[in-house]
Amino acid sequence: MVPLSARRIKAVDNLINLNSKLSCNYEIFRILYSWRMGFKQAKFAVLMALEKGDFLHEARNNINEKNWLKTGQVSVSEVVEIIKICNGNHHTESPHHWISSVTVHVIKRDGWYIKFYFLEPNTYFISVHR
Amino acid sequence: MKLYRQGDSGKAICEHCKAVVPTTFVYRDVPFGDHSGVVKDILVAVCGQCDQVVAVPPQSTPAIKASREVASKSIEVILEVPYLEALDLAAYKIDPLSTVEFRKPLLVYYIHKLAQDENATQNFATWAHDLIHQNKSVMKNVPRKRLSFKVTPRINDEITEILHVTKLKKTDLIKGLVSQIDQDIVRPKTPKKLATLQTIAAVVTC
């Protein structure tokens, strides 16, 4: 990701807070968060996507057995509960293998491994398993 | 939940094109990554450039789950590497062109044969228990690897039945079966079951 100046981060945070107070518009949240995506923002955005059912699973011409959310071995609400109890210590991020401008987020908690990224306007899950 | 329809468009990362590509939602038959089956007629997003499946919406999950439950039960064990080497050697002896994918059919053949004969199962239990006990000291500092594969519910039931009759643990059952394979195929100069197993190898690797 492009490093942001402290001033811009603060400005985006103010916009996020303002939007939160005004209307909680999901799309505006997502655009704002894509500008300033730390763990808190990624967590919020992925939880919003899960709760709205507005997400997709990455596929590589087959059904990946490592994505239990895709295969139905774990429910959306279970994944939400796991992510909710995570903090920055459970999170790492790295550039996507092929598209370096896309940040891949990995959450590891209690044996769970959850890997996802945001490709506006969608949230893509790569792996959800333990 | 957001519901997609056939013909909807979007964008995704395509592994084949290694790029962000435009996508279109269509109905497709999609195989499981471990070749355990195919999910028929699910809505997926396909790449606008290479036509490969690049994304699956959550509305397709119930169909995937249903197909998966029919197709497979997971068998996972951690074995000392010499057991895996023996298994791979046997596979190689049966068919030099076979890959690690032949591990599963070979083990399933032995599981199925064992499940059909209760007396043989009892004898196998005693033999396997003694053999594994003898090998314990030899295998003490040997590295271990995971062996995992999916079987149909029918084979899974046979494994459960064998475990019930023999009182063996699943890992010990697999170790016993590999030891049996070692004795039947790897060690003899001309294994008795070679022709049958070569036919199976030809069928499953076709």
Q: ipTM score here?
A: 0.74
Range of the domain at B34: 9-68
Among B13, B42, B73, B76, the strongest candidate for a mutation testing the A interface, having the largest count of A CBs within 10 A, is B13
Instruction: With respect to residue B4, please indicate whether it lies within any of the assigned structural domains.
Output: no
Q: What is the pLDDT of residues B144-201, one digit of tens each?
A: 999 998 887 678 888 988 998 898 999 999 999 999 999 999 999 888 888 888 888 8
Among A51, A61, A124, A128, the strongest candidate for a mutation testing the B interface, having the largest count of B CBs within 10 A, is A61
pLDDT reading at B58 higher than 90: yes
Residues B138 and B189 in one domain: yes
Q: What is the pLDDT of residues B10-53, one digit of tens each?
A: 999 999 999 999 999 999 999 988 777 889 999 999 999 999 99
Q: Quick one: pLDDT at residue B41?
A: 94
**Contacting residues of B for A71, CB less than 8 Å apart:** 61, 64-65, 68
Residue with tokens 């402290």: A6
Residue B56 has φ and ψ, to the nearest 5°, of: -130, 125
Mean pLDDT of chain B: 89
| Last residue of one domain, picked from the residues B68, B97, B115 | B68
Q: Which is more confident, A19 or A92?
A: A92
Task: Tell how far CA B181 is from the center of its chain.
Answer: 17
Q: How far is A47 from chain B (nearest CA, A)?
A: 13
Cα(A113)–Cα(A31) distance, rounded to whole angstroms?
Answer: 26
Cβ-defined contact of B30 to A63 (cutoff 8 Å): yes
Long-range contacts of A102-107 (CB under 8 A, 24+ apart): A102/B13, A102/B20, A103/A1, A103/A37, A105/A39, A105/A42, A105/A46, A107/A82, A107/A83
Q: How far is A53 from chain B (nearest CA, A)?
A: 4
Q: How far is A93 from chain B (nearest CA, A)?
A: 17
CB < 8 Å from B in window 2-41 of A:
none
Residue B158 has φ and ψ, to the nearest 5°, of: -65, -40
Q: Quick one: pLDDT at residue B43?
A: 97
**Domains held by chain B: number:** 2
- Is residue B105 within 8 Å of B150, Cβ to Cβ? no
CB < 8 Å from A in window 8-37 of B:
10-13, 15-16, 18-20, 30-34
Among A46, A51, A52, A56, the strongest candidate for a mutation testing the B interface, having the largest count of B CBs within 10 A, is A56
Question: What average pLDDT does this structure show over B69-97?
Answer: 88
Instruction: With respect to residue B190, please indicate whether it lies within any of the assigned structural domains.
Output: yes
Cβ-defined contact of A119 to B20 (cutoff 8 Å): yes
Q: Of all residues in chain A, what percent carry a pLDDT higher than 70?
A: 72
Token reading at B194: 């070679």
Regarding pTM above 0.80, the answer is: no
| Last residue of one domain, picked from the residues B51, B68, B85 | B68
Cα(A41)–Cα(A21) distance, rounded to whole angstroms?
Answer: 16
Question: Which of A96-100, A124-128, B202-206 is least confident?
Answer: B202-206
Task: Tell me the C-alpha to C-alpha distance, in Å, between residue B5 and each of A50, A57, A61, A99.
Answer: 19, 16, 19, 27
Which positions ≥6 away from A16 have C-beta within 8 Å? A29, A32, A33, A36, A41
Q: What is the pLDDT of residues A8-24, one digit of tens each?
A: 556 666 665 665 555 55
Domain ranges (residues) in chain A: 1-35, 39-129
Instruction: With respect to residue B150, please indicate whether it lies within any of the assigned structural domains.
Output: yes
Residues B47 and B139 in one domain: no
Cβ-defined contact of B12 to A73 (cutoff 8 Å): no
Cβ-defined contact of A72 to B10 (cutoff 8 Å): no
| CATH among 3.40.1350, 3.30.2310, 3.30.70, 3.40.190 for A39-129 | 3.30.2310
Instruction: With respect to residue B41, please indicate whether it lies within any of the assigned structural domains.
Output: yes
Select from B82, B72, B78, B74 the least CA-distant residue to B32: B72
| Last residue of one domain, picked from the residues B68, B83, B114 | B68
Task: Tell me the C-alpha to C-alpha distance, in Å, between residue B180 and each of B94, B103, B108, B111, B145.
Answer: 15, 14, 13, 11, 19
Cα(A42)–Cα(A36) distance, rounded to whole angstroms?
Answer: 9
Instruction: With respect to residue B2, please indicate whether it lies within any of the assigned structural domains.
Output: no
Q: Is A80 on the interface with B (CB under 8 A)?
A: no
- Give me the DSSP letters along chain A: -----HHHHHHHHHHHHHHHHHT--HHHHHHHHHHS--HHHHHHHHHHHHHHT--EEE-SSSB-TTBHHHHTSS-HHHHHHHHHT--GGGEEEEE-SS-TTSEEEEEEETTEEEEEEEETTEEEEEEEE-
Residues B30 and B81 in one domain: no
Which positions ≥6 away from A130 have C-beta within 8 Å? A68, A110, A111, A112, A113
Cβ-defined contact of A59 to B1 (cutoff 8 Å): no
